[in-house]
Amino acid sequence: MRDTAGRDRTLVARVAEGDEQALGELYDAHGAAAYAVAYRILGQKPDAEEAVAETFAQAWREASRFDPARGSVGAWLVTITRTRALDAARAAGREARLGDAAELWGDAGRRDGTPDDAAAAGARGRAVREAVAQLTVAQREVIGLAFYGGLAQPEIADRLQAPPGTVKSRLRLGMQKLRETLASWTEVPSP
């Protein structure tokens, strides 16, 4: 046990110095445990994988602040993972509430149309909800903040305390997935 604890502290010290190989070794040693925690909280593989990726990105950024007097490296990483996963779960809850509000707004807008308009709008709404459900929690969160919250990418990065590049990637990948999933709805039917 002592050898493992010493090795882990050495790895964290190397990570703090910018050693990418040490981060890989730290992941090899603790990635499975981090994934188990994230999956237990989030219940979906892509969301758990995203939380683990965020865990090790945060460990990379904050390795110099690790204090062995406060606990083991494994406990530190599990705490980070738990926090990232709970943040993702809370974001999913916010996203669901935004979706409920958007659905109510959409229903109100459909009342003035014909029954055919209402049916088409309902089918489009279901397709959009299904497409959004296929995104990771992190992708849904940035897309929700951008489109429902009206925030720009730097504002989203500040709010989520995430690197701007991460926000940009999540937004781009999420929008790409939505575009591909909803491609059939963008085609204009011929009269």
**HSE-CB for 166 with a 13 A CA cutoff:** 17
Contacts of 93 (CB under 8 A, 6+ apart): none
- Residue that wins the pLDDT comparison between 35 and 99: 35
Q: Which of 57, 66, 58, 146 is nearest to 98 (CA)?
A: 146
- Whether residues 12 and 80 share a domain: the answer is yes
- Whether residues 25 and 81 share a domain: the answer is yes
Range of the domain at 52: 2-87
Residue 158 located in a structural domain: yes
Residue 25 located in a structural domain: yes
- Residue that wins the pLDDT comparison between 158 and 120: 158
- Whether residues 75 and 139 share a domain: the answer is no
Distance of alpha carbon 17 from its chain centroid, rounded? 27
CATH of the domain at 124: 1.10.10.10
Please say if the pLDDT value at position 106 is more than 80. Answer: no
Residue 190 located in a structural domain: no
Give the helix/strand (H/E) hosting 38. helix 20-42
pLDDT at 27 (0 to 100)? 94
Task: State the first-to-last Cα distance of the chain, in angstroms, to the nearest integer.
Answer: 73
Greatest mean pLDDT range, 45-49, 110-114, 174-178: 45-49
Nearest 5°: CA angle at 60, between 58 and 66?
Answer: 85
Contacts of 28 (CB under 8 A, 6+ apart): none
Q: Phi and psi (nearest 5°) for 185?
A: -80, -15
pLDDT at 105 (0 to 100)? 41
Confidence of residue 120 (pLDDT cuts 50, 70, 90): low
Mean residue pLDDT of the chain comes to 80
CATH of the domain at 13: 1.10.1740.10
Residue 26 located in a structural domain: yes
Q: Any idea which residue has 């009269």 for tokens? A: 191
- Whether residues 117 and 176 share a domain: the answer is yes
Number of domains within the chain: 2
Residue 39 located in a structural domain: yes
Over residues 93-101, the mean pLDDT reads 54
Over residues 28-56, the mean pLDDT reads 91
- Whether residues 67 and 131 share a domain: the answer is no
- Whether residues 133 and 74 share a domain: the answer is no
- Whether residues 18 and 74 share a domain: the answer is yes
Residue 170 located in a structural domain: yes
Residue 125 located in a structural domain: yes
Q: What would the pLDDT profile of 150-184 be if each residue is shown by its tens digit?
A: 778 888 898 888 898 898 989 889 888 888 887 76
Q: Which of 75, 26, 40, 34 is nearest to 54 (CA)?
A: 34
Residue 149 located in a structural domain: yes
